[in-house]
Amino acid sequence: MSSTTSTRPLTRKAGDAAARAARRLAGTRFGRRAADSLRSTVPDAGLDQWLKPLFGDELDRIEAELDGAGPEGYAAFRNLDDDLWSPLLTLEYEGWPRIRSYLPALPDPALQQLWNGTSGPTLAAQSVCFYRKLKEMQGRFGRGDLAQTSVLDFGCGWGRLTRMIARDLEPGRLFGCDPVEDILELTRESRVPANLARSEFLPESLPFEEKFDLVFSFSVFTHISEAAHMASLKAIHHGLEPGGLFVVTVRPPAYLDLNPLMAKAVEALGPDRDRALEEPRYIFAPHETDGHPQFGGDEMSYGETVITLPYVKDKWAPMFDLLDVSVLTGDMYQVVLTLRKVS
């Protein structure tokens, strides 16, 4: 069996989860259900037997430092290895109760799976791949120390990645926006240490007066229409400081073979698909869902999206210089683009 064939059931399952999440977002009761899902009970000691013998002394030290700590307490985690920091955020351990109560609460695993296709340590392992790449790109192309950088998570959702970078920034430097107010309310109740505000689905500007040194957007431009993506690009460009960085993920052309929703779009490319994909192409398959908040009556702005690199180089060029293209071994269907604002 080919790798493509064997992967299709997983992709179909993720696509179904995304569709179910979209339908649920249309209901106004989602926010209340999401807020109620915040974990309040102590989970099974899934990671204690791994953490305690290897990192017990270091975590005991942080546990003591957090006594009475405010937002500045996140700096206590700054020197931890990324692959230790990410499982700490899952809260799937009983030891170090002060650490567990200090770090943001988590949505129920079912909500995580609806939003991201997986949950818990598996989702943390995927997330840390992008987090590590984000820091690498800022280190190579950014200006100044990351701790003093003003950072926006564009399309933050429940703060999956927002909470991860919180330890790297001084208090007040972290921002997040999302067009779904219910998920933002959940993020606030989770105590994610960021300034949060609702953005529009087709934004004319960012919902902050702040100008940012770094904006990142994970798995947002993989799901929006061409009109929505261009509006978002313009808003992000306007909200960046001169020379600021934009780190964003897009789908590779290989994704066309993995999601059944892309079948009509693939057919429209014609018999020589490879040649067609060498051209500037924005390939969008909308999720036609009645009542979805991104359905404006004439156009659905949410779905599955593949953007070719020639498109990025051609259409984004007036606003951004493309600096780097990277793959994530933890999530091969998210390609990381790093761009610099052109003033």
Q: What DSSP line would sit under 153-182, residue for residue?
A: EET-TTTTTHHHHGGGS-TT-EEEEES-HH
pLDDT at 32: 44
pLDDT at 20: 41
Please determine, for residue 288, whether its predicted confidence score (pLDDT) is greater than 80: no
**CA neighbor of 131 nearest in space, from 102, 104, 93, 160:** 160
pLDDT at 290: 55
**CA neighbor of 257 nearest in space, from 235, 273, 245, 244:** 273
HSE-CB of 82 using CA atoms within 13 angstroms: 17
The radius of gyration computed from the CA coordinates of the chain, to the nearest angstrom, equals: 20
Region of residue 291 (phi > 0: left; psi between -120 and 50: alpha; otherwise: beta):
left
CA of residue 237 relative to chain centroid, distance: 19
pLDDT at 289: 60
Q: How many angstroms separate the CA atoms of 259 and 13, rounded?
A: 10
pLDDT at 31: 42
Q: Mean pLDDT across the stretch 231-256?
A: 97
pLDDT at 48: 95
Q: Are 30 and 110 in contact (CB under 8 A)?
A: no
Please determine, for residue 50, whether its predicted confidence score (pLDDT) is greater than 70: yes
pLDDT at 236: 98
Please determine, for residue 298, whether its predicted confidence score (pLDDT) is greater than 80: no
Please determine, for residue 194, whether its predicted confidence score (pLDDT) is greater than 90: yes
**CA neighbor of 152 nearest in space, from 30, 50, 244, 62:** 244
Q: Mean pLDDT across the stretch 144-169?
A: 97
Q: How many angstroms separate the CA atoms of 74 and 204, rounded?
A: 33
Domains and CATH numbers, the chain: 3-25+107-341 (3.40.50.150), 48-102 (no CATH)
HSE-CB of 120 using CA atoms within 13 angstroms: 8
Please determine, for residue 293, whether its predicted confidence score (pLDDT) is greater than 90: no
pLDDT at 6: 31
pLDDT at 300: 74
Please determine, for residue 104, whether its predicted confidence score (pLDDT) is greater than 60: yes
Please determine, for residue 218, whether its predicted confidence score (pLDDT) is greater than 70: yes
pLDDT digits (tens, 9 = 90+) for 71-96: 999 999 999 999 999 999 999 999 99
Confidence of residue 28 (pLDDT cuts 50, 70, 90): very low
Least confident interval from 66-70, 115-119, 165-169, 268-272? 115-119
Residues facing 282 on adjacent strands: 307
pLDDT at 77: 98
Please determine, for residue 97, whether its predicted confidence score (pLDDT) is greater than 70: yes
Q: Are 148 and 173 in contact (CB under 8 A)?
A: yes
Torsion of CA 96, 99, 101, 103, to 10 degrees: -150
Please determine, for residue 169, whether its predicted confidence score (pLDDT) is greater than 80: yes
State whether residue 68 is helix, strand or coil. coil
Please determine, for residue 24, whether its predicted confidence score (pLDDT) is greater than 90: no
Q: Mean pLDDT across the stretch 214-243?
A: 97
Provide the percentage of residues in the chain whose pLDDT is more than 90: 76
Provide the percentage of residues in the chain whose pLDDT is more than 70: 83
